[in-house]
Every structure is written in structure tokens, then in C-alpha cells.
Amino acid sequence: MRESRRLTLACAVGLAGCAAVPNEALKSLSWMKWRVPFLAPELFPAASRLLKGFDERTEAADWRAGDSVLYGLDLWNGKSRRRWLVRLTVRADRSDRSGRVGMTFALSNGQNFRWEFEEPWFPIRFEIFDAVSGARLDRTEADLMPLLAEGFLGLVRPKPGVRRQKQPPYRALGSEALQRFARPSAGMIMLGRVLQSNRVLVHYLLQLIDRPSLWSILWHLGIDLTVSPFFDEFRRTNDEPPNVPPSDEHVIFPLVATVNGNVQTQAEVLAVDPRRPYALLGGIVAAHAENPSNLKKHMDLILLAARLGGNGGQASPR
């Protein structure tokens, strides 16, 4: 019997993408440096014991059982530094279980656009490890739809030689263009919800942000994290982490994270060709995030390994 679950997501869309928060970070990109610092893999000595190397890309941008990626994270909270490793693994191929997602875009002209689509659920395992000892600190298992599998390059593909190209305002986009935005937007929202369920990761991330007031927590019935990419602002770049096999295309784009309606983190994200084994997080290979009210608090992310499941694949030269 086919099992189906329904999930409704709301996305208030204006100039700054999938968010409608009264904060200057959503109205101006003056904080963007359009360059992501790359962490050295040597900062994560336990990484090679958890997942090592990169398989060559396949022709498919999807998820398969056993596909796995490993990221290193470096957090400076203004007083101390902490590093850890995050491993994501697809536990099984798609099954008969599916879900129907309803995505509502609240456009800046006052109109709403709604799109619904049905996708299979994939069981994903999230594991957090100490960067030095390799000890596992926490594990979360959750179901996700492969909404990020096609990545970000296809949304806004710059013309050759154009360093920066701005998308038309969302109100000028037709329904077909908004459908392309809906999938990764929903994927980022769902990923943010899953990350909230990992107590260790949340504990560390709370050191990056300004803690919400007790009133805010009571009003929102807890801590509500929303991840919002700016899909109408991007740049092509030739930058890529030296430890990751080269890709033909790279794009860097802004992202903000709100906690209980207030922007707490502004980030720059670097993504490449998302074909397997890079599809789990849409080809994201590096990111830099900082607290807009206290720039001494910042976090960096780097992709350290990406391997295919099943019979695996050929190792890719770096």
C-alpha cells in the first residue's frame, strides 16, 4: 500500500527570496564579500576515519542508498573555538512512502502563488562527530525529500563571462519560474527543520546566534529556525576549495537564518555541480556564516568527502 504524507510550507517572497522579515539584512547585501574562506582539511584529523575521498560524478543528480557526504564545521563564538564533523548518509533507496508538499509564495505585489508536488521520502542519517577524536556525539534519523538533489546552478544560470547577474523581482516571474524556485526553497526549509531535531548541533549553533528572549520562546512555542536563500542574487565565481575535485560551474549566493522571526545569521554559500555524490546538499561545498550583530561570532563549513553508495565509484583526482 502506498503511504502518503502531506506537508504544507509557506514562503513569503520579496526581493530577498524566501523570507519576509523586517530586518536590513534582507534588504541590502552590503555585508556580502562574495568570497568564502576555505578551511584546511588538516583541521579535522578524524575525518579520514569516517569518510575519505571523492567519487567521480555520475550522470544523475539524485539520491541513492549509501550515498554519503562529510562536512567539517569550525565555530568561533567570540571566546572559544570548536570544530566538529557532520556526516549525512542516505540509508535506503526511495520507497512506496511519499509525501505531497504544498508551497505558497506570498509575492511582493500582494498576490499568492501556490504549487503542490509529490515526492518520495528518503531515510537520511545525520551524525555529529568530534573533529579530533572521531567520537560520535549525536545521531538523528529523519525522512527527507530529494528537493535539493538538483542543486542551485539550474535556477539562475549566468551567461558566459558575466560575473554577476540579478534575477527579475519575484513579482515579475511567471508560474513556471516560481516552480523552479519552489523545490530548493522547500528543501532548505525541510533541512532546517531536521537540523533542529539534533540536540548537539542545535547546542553549537546557539553559540553563533543571540539567544531568543524567554518571551520570544514562549510566544513561538520554542525556537523556530528558518533558512532562507536569496535566489535572486548570485555571482558566478572561479573559487573552489583546493581539496574538492574541480567543477565546471560554481555559484555563490547569500543566505540568512532567522530565529523566531529575527535574522540571526547571514551567510555566503558556494555550490557546484550537484550530480552524485554531491547531491545530498545540492552541491554545497563551502559556506561562511556570521552573526550580523556580533561579527566576532562566525562559522565556516567545508566539504571533506563525498562517496557513492552501492558499488561505489571511481575516486576522483583532486
Q: What pLDDT does 224 receive?
A: 60
Average pLDDT over residues 218-240: 66
d(CA 71, CA 128): 10
d(CA 300, CA 38): 8
Q: Of all residues in the chain, what percent carry a pLDDT higher than 90?
A: 30
What residue numbers bound the domain in which 129 lies? 32-94+122-307
Tell me whether residue 11 is in a domain: no
Tell me whether residue 237 is in a domain: yes
Tell me whether residue 4 is in a domain: no
Q: Can you read off the three cell numbers belonging to residue 57?
A: 560524478
Q: What pLDDT does 228 receive?
A: 66
d(CA 255, CA 238): 20
Is it the case that residue 214 has pLDDT exceeding 60? no
Asked if residue 21 lies in contact with residue 261, where contact means CB atoms within 8 angstroms, the answer is: yes
Tell me whether residue 13 is in a domain: no
Tell me whether residue 21 is in a domain: no
Total domains in the fold of the chain: 1
d(CA 48, CA 249): 27
Tell me whether residue 19 is in a domain: no
Neighbours of 111 (CB within 10 A): 9
d(CA 192, CA 282): 14
Sequence letter at residue 105: F
Tell me whether residue 287 is in a domain: yes
Tell me whether residue 317 is in a domain: no
